[in-house]
Amino acid sequence: MDITQFKGRHLFVAGGSSGINFGIAQAFARVGVNVTLISRSADKVAAAATQLQALGTQAMGIAADVRQPEALQAAFAQAEERFGPIDILVSGAAGNFLATALDMSPNAFKTVVDIDLLGSFNVARMAHAHLRKPGACIVQISAGQAFTPTPFQAHVCAAKAGVDMLTQVLAMEWGPQGIRINSIVPGPIADTEGLKRLAPTEETLTAMAERVPLKRLGKIEDIARMAMLLASDWGSYITGAIIPVDGGLAMSGPRDFTAAAAASRREKK
Ligand code: COA
Ligand code: NAP
């Protein structure tokens, strides 16, 4: 792939101050992409933007919650004013915790659906006016729970299934405008908050890696490379796709989080 194609483009990352989404931002920053990041915490997002600037690119961090469409509207307007229309939008803000449906209040379920699903709609909806047309590429960060019914994950399963359906509907509606949108489905990615919540002990982490056909946890870089491929000319005929980058985990059926849930309950005491 010719990485010079990325120079001077504009990447906007929703939920971009840490973990996988920040890793994607770093990968694009290294090839000269200008980056706008948003997340709830003003301190986290400012520190993340500073780290990107140290890679030699221009970066801006804005505090905004994906549950607040007006805050997103203002962030997208500010981003376009600074770096021009958005070429690449990564939408990955999310929340998770292990709890059975009966241990979840209606507000607990709603909170995750509001961040993951409604938040993804808000991001895409408010971004649309600021996307480069034709040419913009949207990458939604989904999860295997979208297609694997998983105990302790009713909220995430419902929300991420919705995210993938949103990907496909928007691919149909926005394809004629030259906007592509795809979902990446990461497997268990080492050194991330998401995995810490699902595998809080050495034992549960080892068991998780053991379930992966390739017998290893994923790296943030594995996901960043797929995001770059999708955003590049190599991805120019791909839209509406749900793409697992998970070492084959999607084939291995529902996971058992009983031990992990017990461990995280113990940790809370
Ligand atoms: N078990 C059951 N319910 C839980 C819970 C748990 N472990 N953690 C939170 N909740 C419930 C709360 O009790 C509350 O419900 P209530 O009002 O009926 O009591 C509801 O969820 C919302 O919690 P709150 O802390 O107010 O939400 P928030 O919007 O501040 O934070 C979370 C959202 C809960 C998802 C929080 O964990 C978060 O900010 N996560 C971001 C980081 C993350 O999850 N990273 C991994 C991404 S995969
Ligand atoms: P993470 O580091 O916690 O990333 C979540 C990001 O979203 C943070 O930057 C957080 O910053 C932001 N965020 C949370 N709620 C928000 C809100 N309401 N509005 C705006 N920003 C918000 O977790 P991660 O593990 O890297 O996960 C990243 C993505 O990958 C998620 O979509 C997750 O579902 C997906 N995923 C992860 C794994 C894994 O193994 N880690 C596996 C499959 C899928 P603030 O706290 O500042 O808001």
According to the model, what pLDDT value does residue 268 have?
52
Parallel/antiparallel/unpaired status of strands 137-141 and 88-91: parallel
Residue with tokens 């805050």: 71
Which residue's C-alpha comes closest to atom 36 of ligand 1? 95
DSSP sequence for 13-52: EET-SSHHHHHHHHHHHHTT-EEEEEES-HHHHHHHHHHH
Q: Whose CA is nearest to atom 22 of ligand 1?
A: 108
Looking at ligand 1, which atom is closest to the CA of residue 106?
18
Mutate to test the pocket of ligand 1, among 97, 120, 267 (most ligand atoms within 8 A of CB): 97
| Number of the ligand 2 atom closest to the C-alpha atom of 190 | 40
Distance 160 CA to ligand 1 centre (A): 16
Q: How many angstroms does the Cα of residue 94 sit away from the middle of ligand 2?
A: 4
- pLDDT for 140 equals 99
- Quick one: pLDDT at residue 255? 86
With a 6 Å cutoff on the Cβ, whether 43 touches ligand 1 is: no
pLDDT in the model for residue 245: 98
Could you tell me the residue ranges of all domains in the chain?
3-268
The pLDDT of residue 74: 98
Task: Report which protein residue has its CA nearest ligand 1's atom 27.
Answer: 111
Give yes or no for residue 90 CB within 6 A of ligand 2.
Answer: no
Query: Which of 21, 68, 111, 269 maximizes ligand 1 atoms within 8 Å of its Cβ, making it the mutation to test the pocket?
Result: 111
Give the architecture-level CATH label for domain 3-268.
3-Layer(aba) Sandwich (3.40)
User: Is the pTM value of this prediction over 0.95?
Assistant: yes
CA of 97 to the centre of ligand 1 (A): 7
Mean pLDDT by 10 residues, the chain (269 residues): 97 98 98 98 98 98 98 98 98 98 98 99 99 98 98 98 99 98 98 97 96 98 98 98 98 90 71
Query: What confidence score (pLDDT) does residue 266 get?
Result: 54
Using CA positions, which residue lies closest to atom 9 of ligand 1?
Answer: 108
- Taking CA atoms only, the protein residue closest to ligand 1 atom 8 is 97
The residue type found at 5 is Q
Centre of ligand 1 to C-alpha 216, Å, is 29
pLDDT of residue 269: 44
pLDDT score at 170: 99
Q: Is 199 in the pocket of ligand 2 (CB under 6 A)?
A: no
